[in-house]
Chain A
Amino acid sequence: MADATEASAVPARGMSRAAIFVAATRGRHGADWTDWASYVYLVFGTLLMFVPVAWLALSSLKTQAGLDQMPPTVLPYEPARAALPGRPGEFPLFRVTKGDHAGQELAEVRRIGLQAQMVDPAAPAAVIRVPVSDREPVMRLHAAWDNYSAVVSRFDFLLYFWNSLFITVVATVITLLFNAMAAFALSKYNFRGRGTVFALILATLMVPPTIILVPNYLIASQLGLVNSLWGVIWPGVATPTGVFLLRQYMLTIPDELLDAARMDNASEWRLFWRIMLPLSAPALAVLAIFSVMWRWNEFLWPLVVLSRSENFTLQLALNSFQGELTTSWNLLLAMTVLTLLPITLIFLVLQRHITQGIASAGVK
């Protein structure tokens, strides 16, 4: 399949790494230096792709105090607290660094100036005096899931999530239907003007939405679509990519199948939804993946057409919060993770189909 000389470098999956390593020194029939360079490069690249996302996810589990720490810790920590018998509430734990009690973990019950009154949780009767400079807080691993509950309860997260979900699902369904209808007519009917229609549709490839923002805004406003989720949905439901992809696929479906159904007096509409659509499922799936990706991540057009916050999509809400919430990164990070989660899950499940679909269609 791939480079023939290099194929011998990895002859069998079971071959141990040591054997490959030995082979590496054996000239052009073994693995040469380019194989090793490839591995090093790929591992480094993978880290570069994943570590920033992992860092985001880890950071989203820290408290605001934990986030402010410099230099930052890798895992989320929180100052430990302990309950003391006979005293209400919980008290912060400190590790004493100097003096008679060095190494002990004590709870601070009171602080007077630079002296702290500390108590050993194991022996709560005795009060020990320690200078505040001779101790450091005990940190304990702690995932601050409250960041997530705060995002969900304090901001209209669910509303934004719903808006994004609604746009993604409805737009994808309409996109699939409209584009498949056009592709059906363009591939199976011989009507006057077919070539012109196809050329017109392909020509729209040349007009990305970024260059017709102002007139699109006018039309959306004339149709009463400004500040409505439908204003985000409608402009993008007809896609040249989708029509082209589906038409090419439908051309491979034999006309005899349709003729046989026509014999049985099936209507053209029935031919379309009973025969063509199910048979085009692979191409439809590719378009569906594209559409979900486009819609969930769309930014500039929603930014223009949705100005009231109750209509915001997740992307818009994130953008507006990052302006307002610069002091509470913990919430912003949790919200970012929640936004990337659905796409990440879809990718984990459909990874192979997505990469193959995009490689075959060559579009994004």
Chain B
Amino acid sequence: MAEARPLNLVRMMAGRGLAAAYAGTMNILELPMRVAQRSLGPGLAWLFVGPNLIVFSLFTFLPIVLNIWYAFSGSTNLLPSQRPWVGLDNMRALLSCQNHFDPSSCQRDLFWHGVYNTLEFVVLQVTLMVALSLITALALNKKVIGQGFFRAAFFYPVLLSPVVVALIWKWILQRNGVLNGVILSAGGTPFDWLLDARSAFSWTVFVSIWAHMGFYTLILLAGLQAIPRDVYEAAEMDAAPPWTRFRRITLPLLMPSFLVVVVLALIRAVQIFDEVFVLTGGGPGTATTYLVQFIYETGFAQQIREYGMASAASLLLAAVLMLLTLAQLRLVRRGNG
């Protein structure tokens, strides 16, 4: 009998234990909820959405309003009532530059370094990531042997935490790392990959693609698999060459998923922080300091916490993200409709 196996027995006992704990907890709430049902009537629905709404109000809606207040008030006080209104001072300080194309001429040069680095990062990373994800999804969609294994392999880094991802690559890229080891064995000269500005920047692009492309591959693969097979059969009847089939069938039918992937990748790339912060700390110099790191450091890591400045930068970032998210919602709606 299967039940006699020790592992199954343990599983059964654990299952029963969990079920009993679940029922016990829920039963405790039975009486108050019955009272509420009697007194509230149809208003009971609000009790069900209540916990969610309270959390959203406290940690999303209220903060949006407060963020605006912070952005337009000064001093280093955290309490909003103790912060004097300074109007556009924070914004002006952030945005004033002698030459907007030269970050070092700006009053807040770190912010502008962050802006330009983020811009360059987003363009490069999103282009490469979407292209690689598409290639991977197309390769996986060919019904290769071991498709499940390959899909899982590409997806695995997505689950790793940003800190772990950064440490894996820091270990490989450091002076005595394996990359330099390989180069040394091949007769080359070792290089400090993370101490050179251009190289460090490129590696942050590479590492973030390495960590996230599996997710976009998965969405694109689902999109590819939703394309009905008879369309291809018809094309084959007409002896359409593979490139034509790709351009005329695959690409147009994949477009909805493709656009969603582009926008999602953009939204996440604009907010790049975790991996890079651990991998390079924003350096060397300011070569890999991105916008969110500027917000974090200005608001929380400096000796003097400039909440107003951090919030002003957040507000600008929020405007960009708002546009991107609206684009995403529109695309999703069009895709569903």
Measured CB to CB, the residues of A under 8 A from B are 1-7, 9-10, 13, 32, 34-35, 37-39, 41-42, 45-46, 48-50, 52-53, 55-56, 59, 67-68, 70-72, 177-179, 181-182, 184-186, 189, 191, 194, 197, 200-201, 204-208, 210-219, 221, 223, 234-238, 243, 267-270, 272-273, 293, 296-297, 299-300, 303-304, 315, 318-319, 322, 329, 332-333, 336, 339-340, 343-344, 346-347, 351-352, 354-355, 358-360, 362, 364
Contacts and interface: CB of A to CB of B under 8 A. Distances in A.
A296 B164 CA distance: 11
Interface in B238-255: 242, 245
Contacts, number: 313
Contact of A299 (B56, B148, B162): B162
A191 B41 CA distance: 11
Contacts of A344: 156, 159
B176 to A, nearest CB: 5
A340 B318 contact: no
Contact of B37 (A34, A181, A267, A362): A267
A339 B142 contact: no
A204 B45 contact: no
A326 to B, nearest CB: 9
B52 interface: yes
B233 to A, nearest CB: 5
A218 B144 contact: no
Given A10-B144, A238-B51, A267-B37, 13 more contacts: A4-B229, A4-B233, A5-B245, A46-B150, A68-B176, A178-B51, A189-B44, A206-B322, A215-B64, A215-B67, A299-B273, A322-B170, A340-B160
Contacts of B37: 267-269
B317 to A, nearest CB: 5
A257 to B, nearest CB: 17
A29 to B, nearest CB: 10
Given A212-B60, A267-B34, A56 B168 contact: yes
A293 B159 contact: yes
Given A13-B145, A181-B48, A194-B45, A214 B178 contact: no
A74 B167 CA distance: 18
Contacts of A208: 267, 271, 321
Interface of B: 22, 26, 29-30, 33-34, 37, 42-46, 48-49, 51-53, 55-56, 58-64, 66-67, 70, 78-80, 135-136, 138-145, 148-164, 167-172, 176, 178, 180-182, 184-185, 210, 214-215, 218-219, 221-222, 224-225, 229, 232-233, 236, 242, 245, 260, 267, 271, 273-274, 277-278, 292, 295-296, 299-300, 307, 310-311, 314-315, 317-318, 321-322, 325-326, 329
B128 to A, nearest CB: 14
Contacts of A205: 325, 329
A52 B300 contact: no
Nearest to A180: B48
A191 to B, nearest CB: 4
Contact of A50 (B143, B156, B325): B156
Contact of A56 (B171, B180, B214, B271): B171
10 contacts: A10-B143, A39-B144, A46-B149, A55-B171, A71-B182, A181-B49, A182-B49, A211-B314, A214-B310, A354-B155
Contacts of A214: 66-67, 70, 299, 307, 310-311, 314
Contact of B60 (A37, A207, A269): A207
B256 to A, nearest CB: 11
A55 B273 contact: no
In this complex, the member of A34, A215, A303 whose beta carbon has the largest number of chain B beta carbons within 10 angstroms is: A215
